[in-house]
Every structure is written in structure tokens, then in C-alpha cells.
Amino acid sequence: MAITQSAPAPTPPSTAFEQMQAFGRRHERVPGQDVNGKPSLTHDQAGEQINLKGRERWPDRDGDGKATFSYSFAKRPGATFNQLKLIGFSEFNPEQKAQMRLSLQSWSDVANVKFTEKENDGTGDGHLRFGNFQEIEGVKAPDGKAVTQYDPEGHEQQAWFRVGGYDANRAPKVNSRGRNTFTHEAGHQIGLFHPGKYNGSRAGYEKAAEYGQDTQGHSVMSYWEETHTGQDFSKKGKQYYASAPQMDDIVAAQQLYGPNTQTRKGDTVYGFGSNTGRDYYTVKSASDPLVASIWDGGGHDTLNLSGYRDDQKINLNAGSYSDVGGMKGNLSIAPGVVIEDAVGGVGNDWMLGNSAANSLKGGPGDDVIDGGAGQDELWGGSGKDVFLFSDASHSTPDAPDRIMDFRSGEDKIDVSSVRFASGQPELKHVEVFTGRPGEAILTYDAKTRFSTLKIDTTGNAKPDFKVLVKGQVTRSDIVA
């Protein structure tokens, strides 16, 4: 009786591949999948939850195609102040006025909402007014940090901020609780609500949140801490907050009024060396926090995190969250946004590109870099770096990636997932393809000083994968 011997099972891809895949799927929004025992909502579903499916959208009274508001700072309490049972009126101080202007600007950056500072003259779609109070009758500080009057059918909305026993509102600044509250209340004024039915409630995330992503990590309109969704906005023992709309807020505002595609439509740098003109996108030292969601209208853009000394996880895909500057899940990229380039810091960074032609620079440290789809330029910098290729389609003969600073004996090229897709237990190096899957050809051109690695994953005697590498690569440099 003949004994048949089955082919050996292909060896699984490397641990680095598995870890990068897990990082890429982190915070993934999968309908029907629970998050903390609560349903997971897509960005669009969460947006509709926050804007009540547009029920409180301001009508376009002047017919200009966008929401146009005037705003002013109250000089006296007025009837509404008393109706809300507020006590101890005071005007906004200069710092409060400056910070509220920035909060309003952050909303107009992401959606077709325009704000003009002037007294209420009845023009435009509505008027917003801001002022302070000392306390609410029957409510002790720090509860009742702010009160907003909802009335899009009327012409004026008012937001009042507690300053009695609560200094955060009196002296707000970027990444502070006070600035976060200002942006939150401004969101209410343009027609956004809390992601759940818990206005003024202290019931907590476990009882009050209606879906898993209802946290400050996804929305400034949420009451609940970002730690519930695996994020952490603290740095060296100090808690920081988003100063501008978070990812789900951006979606919610754009569902109401449409996206502002004119915002930062040129070449923009976020992080170190930022040219955004926005304090929440600007970092000047390694101690500065960066808590934000990026909205960008176009151009060739760069995420520069080079000044941070922490180990970072950087994801350039729209809808993703990155760990930067010693925090977790603190920097996100809104749906529909393309950021082309990224620069890592001094630590051991993980970098994941998107489908654009990315330039990814790891910098000092032992970095793991996956360019994703698109024709990318990859720079490891100093340290022992791994250039990871998750799929043969990410670097093809027609559009090969280029590794620009490879050091043989220190750096590695990880094609274990490409080899695994061929169904073979190992990569077989050959001089010419013979029509068997899993064959690789490695060559070096002394004139150009570039190595070329080609792999046939299907067995058609043609390469499906190709990468160009500056420097001479040996077979021992390849992880397969």
C-alpha cells in the first residue's frame, strides 16, 4: 500500500506581523460587536446618536447654504439667567473670551458653520451668547459646570459657565478641562447633544452609556472617561482633555452642515513644527500633550512626532487612533482624511501607513514600519529596524516600495506574511523563477547601490511582490 505524505503546513507569519495587525484593528468599529458589553457603533451611527439624526439642526434662515451665527459675551444676566435658576452673574474675562473664540473656530474648521463676533441684530441663522454664573440654585459644585439653553427654533442660544468653586472655567487653556467644557457647550449650541440620555447625570459609563464608544476618547460631547475605551490622556500624572471636536463629533457636525473642505487644504504639518495655527495640533516640546482628531481638507500632509522620546504607535489610516507622546489612543484621524507622511520619535516606534504614497521615517530607536498599500518610501533611521510587508499587493513590480537607509546585519525585511500567503513553509531563494509558489530572487546592483527582492506567491513564474532597498541585502536580513 502506498503511503502519501502531506505537504508541511506553512509556518505562521512573524510575531511582528501579528502585533501590527492587532494594532491596525484596535478601536475598529464593527457593528454587532460588543464593546464593554455595549453595542459598537460605526462613525456614522455615532454621529447620528450625537446629533439626534439632525432633529436639532439650525434652519438656514438666510439661505446661504451654511449655518451662520453671530455671537457675543453677555454684559448682564437677562431673563433666561433667572429662568435657569442661576445665581451670581459675571462677564467673561479676556482669557475666557479668547478660549471661546478658539472653541468656536474648531467647530467651523470641520463643518460649514460660520461664527461672527457681534451683538444680536437678528441677522444670520442664530445668535450665541456666553456668560458666567457662581452657582445653580440647589446644585453644589463641581456639578453643573455649564448650562446651555436649547432652542434652535428661536434666534438666540445662551451658554453659562460656572466659575464659583470651579476654576477650570475661569482660566481655560488648551488641553484643559475648561477648554474642553467650552468646546462641549459650543457643540450643544450648534445642535449636538450627549451620546446618551444622561444630561446632568452622574450615573457613570456602565449605567448611562448606550454604546461602547461613548467616551471622551471619541467625543467631547461625552461625559465619560476615555479609559473606558482603552485610551489614556494622562501624562506624568496629569490629566489632559481634547480642546476641539473629536472624531465622532466631526462626523456629527458634518452630517448636519456638511464638511468644511477648505480647511487646511494645502501642505500641512501636525505636531512638531506645526503650521496649522491651531494650539491643539501644535507641539513644541516632549512634555507637551497632543490630544486631538485631525481634520484636513487636502494637500500633502505630515504628522511630525520627532520630538517625543516615548515608544509610539502611529497609524495614518483614516478612522484610526495612535499612541503618541506617552499617551494611549490620544491622536486620531477623522474619516475621509489622508495624511501622507509621518516622522517618528526617539523611542521604539510602530508605524502603519495608509493606501497613499507614504514617506515614513522611524528616526532613532528600534522601529517597526509597515507602509501599507501604495508606493511608499521607508526610512528606519538609527537603531535595529524592521520593514514589515503585510501583503504582496502593498509593494508590487509596478509600484514597489523603496527602503532608503537599510543596514545589513542590523535591520530586517519581514516578508513572513507574503511567504505565508504562498502556502509554503519557507521562502526558497532561486536564481530564476521556476513556477513554484514561494520562490524569491534577491539581487544587488553595484551601480545604483540598490538591492531588489522579488517573490512569486502564486507559482506563475512572475513576481507578485517587489521591493527596492538602498544598500546590499543578504538572505540573512530577510525574515520569512
User: Which residues participate in catalysis according to the annotation?
Assistant: 185
Tell me the residue type at 84.
L
- The verdict on whether residue 394 carries a ligand-binding annotation is no
d(CA 314, CA 23): 9
C-alpha cell at 185: 457647550
Using the structure block, give the residue that is written with the C-alpha cell 503546513.
9
Three-class secondary structure of residue 97 per DSSP = helix
Residue closest to 442 by CA, chosen among 416, 471, 410: 471
Three-class secondary structure of residue 342 per DSSP = strand
Quote helix, strand, coil % in the chain, to nearest 5: 20, 25, 55
Please give the radius of gyration of the chain, using alpha carbons only, rounded to the nearest integer: 26
d(CA 23, CA 45): 23
In SS3 terms, 211-273 reads as CCCCCCCCCCCCCCCHHHHCCECEECCEECCCCCCCHHHHHHHHHHHCECCCCCCCCCEEEEC
- The verdict on whether residue 194 carries a ligand-binding annotation is yes
Q: Cα–Cα distances in Å, from 432 out to 395, 443, 467?
A: 20, 11, 17
- The verdict on whether residue 188 carries a ligand-binding annotation is yes
Angle at 327 between CA 366 and CA 338, to 5 degrees: 75
d(CA 170, CA 341): 39
User: Which residues sit in the known binding site for Zn(2+)?
Assistant: 184, 188, 194
